[in-house]
Structure 1
Amino acid sequence: MTALAGIRVVELAGLVPGPFGCMMLADLGADVVQVSRPESRVVPVGPLDRGRRTVTLDLKTPSGVSSLLSLVSRADVLVEGFRPGVAERLGFGPSVCSAMNSRLVYARMTGWGQDGPLASRAGHDIDYIAVSGALDPLGHAGSPPPAPLNYLGDLAGGGMLLAVGVLAALVSREHTGRGQVVDAAMVDGAGLLTAFLHGAMASGIWTGPRGSNLLDGGAPFYDTYSTADGQYVAVGAIEPQFYAALLRGLGLDSDPSLPGQHDVAGWPVLRSRFATAFATRTRDEWAEVFDAVDACVAPVLSPSEAPDHPHMKSRSSFVTVDGVTQPAPAPRFSRTPAAPPSPPVATTVDAVLDSWPRPQIEI
């Protein structure tokens, strides 16, 4: 049995954050039925759609809404990613759904949230992390912050926040017997990811602009370096014992002219010496040098290389589903392990209802 066995989720197909959150729920064993629109403009997102049954409904028609509500009446969770007010206008807002299923967890995945001056505005990952303060600290000193893919807003601050909210609401339902609305906003989730940074600023250990602090590339012992083959290694030798191992691996441990690790004025010299040393060997040669050394040095692998790394292979951290290599479900459970992911399977509303008996109402 999986961790979420027996939990029924209706997911209204959308862009990346919602599918990612529902992928996590499906990975953990929830029975997720994804509702797609006819001739949907939503681009399939491959691994993010795994583990689902899928049905097609036109939610702009009374019959489509009626079919959706029949699923909702037997579901534990509904996930939708419309702008505020759209679901209500179409006839399946929280009040309608809760009236027919008081135990329903109604999860709303948006960028700006259900209220506030920007709630109805369009946006993308980069906008949400910009306003939340998560974007400004990223990047090199003297350069503008980069577009860091969509990890912080869509995935960590969006879909993962959604999954946590759904799970918390399900636990609460066990105590109260009632569901509730979960407002999962990427702008909130991205802001939540800056909790450590706010603490670091308050304590005075994070005082400079981007690219000048301990964990943002300012410190030469916490950064990436180019190697002889044009690849990169990542260095995170913060603690003194790891820093000492780094110097030994680079052959710099006996150099009396080397500035001290925490001599900020000497950091440019340290960075130059490290860069020169790393440029003498290839990435994989450096990986071999530091393979058995606790120096917190690792090769920077591409997404296509990562599945073949010995550690990742030993843990089966990647799997192949329908010919596509992708991350395996996580986290891992000792008693209720996740089943191997499977590709989405098309079905019908009637078939889903046949497999979802009506909940028995206690009198």
Structure 2
Amino acid sequence: MNDQPLSGLTVIDFSTLLPGPLATLMLAEAGATVIKIERPGGEDMRFFPPKSGDVGTLYAMLNRGKRCLELDLKAADARARILELTDAADIVVEQFRPGVMARLGLGADELCARNPRLIHCSITGFGQSGPRAMEAGHDLNYMALTGLLALSRGSFDAPVLPPAQFADIGGGSFPAVINILLALLQRDRTGKGSRLDIAMCDAMFTFALFAQAQLTTLGHAPKNGADLLTGASPRYRLYPAADGHLIAVGALEDKFWQALCDAVELPDLHRDDRRDSEACAAAMAERIASRTAAEWVPVLAGADCCATPLATLEDAFRDPHFLERGLFDFTADADDTPIPATIVPIDRAFRGRAGAIDPD
């Protein structure tokens, strides 16, 4: 397709692992040409298990449709080769620590001076400035340092890890794409590029929005598991059914709560969760534990009350709704083996069908 939104744009991608590669994958899905620069032998993600043949499955999922170029950035002729590419590029994405690219003569100042229309996007944990700018970190550290993890970490004896890379994806990949698209719109008006400083930590405060509202209003944040959305309310919890499967209840609004109470036949005495929240939760838990999850499914679906069984990933991949929406139609190739492509929030109308990784 040459009518995709980003057709004709070129991205030079120096990023590795997850945040940058997912961002540039979304740009590629929307039609951009992405040239991924890797060190000789390839980046670490190539070798992460599980593997499809000799290639890491996640690497193949993140880098489909990109042209991959192995290049030692410290080699004598590397700078000239890179400048040739970036001089003609529209977007550069990198996620080195601050100053690394500048020491190689490939920093944002140099690249943007040579190509004033260039959109230069740096993705780091802590940003290009500030006391922590040079610190190493990973997803868990960014959530820990911003107070997000403290809101729902489980008990002290059995702390719970988050089930997804919220900082990498929600703080790195998504903000990078959003700001790159904004920079493209601005460039259309002004003719000038931009320098974008994406810090994965920064967006974690956005994820703590409800807790920040309490902090601002009451002067203190919710304690572990004590926020409206982390366990304080019987309207927003996981309840075990009789067979040990869980029912996810998100009946926050009163119309949904009353519909749920009707569906499970909760006694009127325990419906007012404002009067006695824990007694209400205990009564709801007792009612849900009286049947299996399978028995509850048609009852709750008929009530339309924001209560659903907890599906496994295997269950979700077989769900008729997601199948009908075509979420799993796209494939990537790993050593000529088709695998499901990364599911990205790019509308099908904008997406191409880029296939295998293209080694240079």
Same fold (TM over 0.5): yes
Q: Does 1:151 align with 2:151?
A: no
What TM-score do you get using the length of structure 1 for normalisation?
A: 0.86
Task: Specify the alignment match of 2:232 in structure 1.
Answer: 218
Inter-CA distance 155–311: structure 2 relative to 1 (3 Å threshold): same
What is the alpha-carbon distance in structure 2 between the residues aligned to residue 285 and residue 306 of structure 1? 19
Partner residue of 2:6 out of 4, 13, 26: 4
Q: How does 1:176-255 map to 2 (within 5 A)?
A: 176-204=190-218, 208-252=222-266, 255=267
Gaps of 5+ in 2: 47-57
Equivalents in 1 of 2:346, 2:116: separation in Å?
A: 30
Greater mean alpha carbon deviation, residues 298-307 or residues 202-211: 202-211
TM-superposed CA distance for 1:325, in Å, is 2.8
What is the alpha-carbon distance in structure 1 between the residues aligned to residue 31 and residue 43 of structure 2? Answer: 28
Q: Deviations over 1:241-274 (max 9, x none)?
A: 111111122122xx243251322xx222222222
Does 2:315 correspond to 1:305? yes
Over 3 Å counting, the alpha-carbon distance change for 1:286 and 1:197 in structure 2 is same
The yes-or-no answer on 1:275 pairing with 2:285 is yes
TM-score (norm 2): 0.87
Opposite residue 72 of structure 2, the aligned amino acid is D
Bigger mean CA offset, 216-225 vs 308-317 = 308-317
1:358 alignment partner in structure 2: none
CA distance in 2, matches of 1:79, 1:136: 31
Q: Deviations over 1:185-206 (max 9, x none)?
A: 1111222333443234334598
Which segments of 5 or more consecutive residues in structure 1 lack a partner in the other structure? 348-363
The secondary structure found in structure 2 opposite 1:97 is helix
Show the 5 A alignment for 1:37-116.
37-44=39-46, 45-46=58-59, 47-116=61-130
Q: Secondary structure at the match of 2:237?
A: strand
Out of 318, 327, 330, the position equivalent to 1:317 is 327
Within the alignment, does 1:339 sit opposite 2:352 as a pair?
Answer: yes
Give CA-to-partner distance per residue, 1:106-144, whole Å, 9 cap, x none.
110100111111111111111112222222212457778
* Contact preservation (8 Å) 2:226, 2:232: yes
Letter in 2 for 1:344: I
Cα pair 2:26 2:346 within 8 Å, conserved: no
For these two proteins, the number of residue pairs brought into alignment is 341
State whether structure 2 residue 136 is matched by structure 1 residue 122: yes
Change (3 A) 1:277 1:342: farther
The 8 Å contact of residues 29 and 339 in structure 1, kept in 2 or not, is answered as yes
RMSD: 2.3
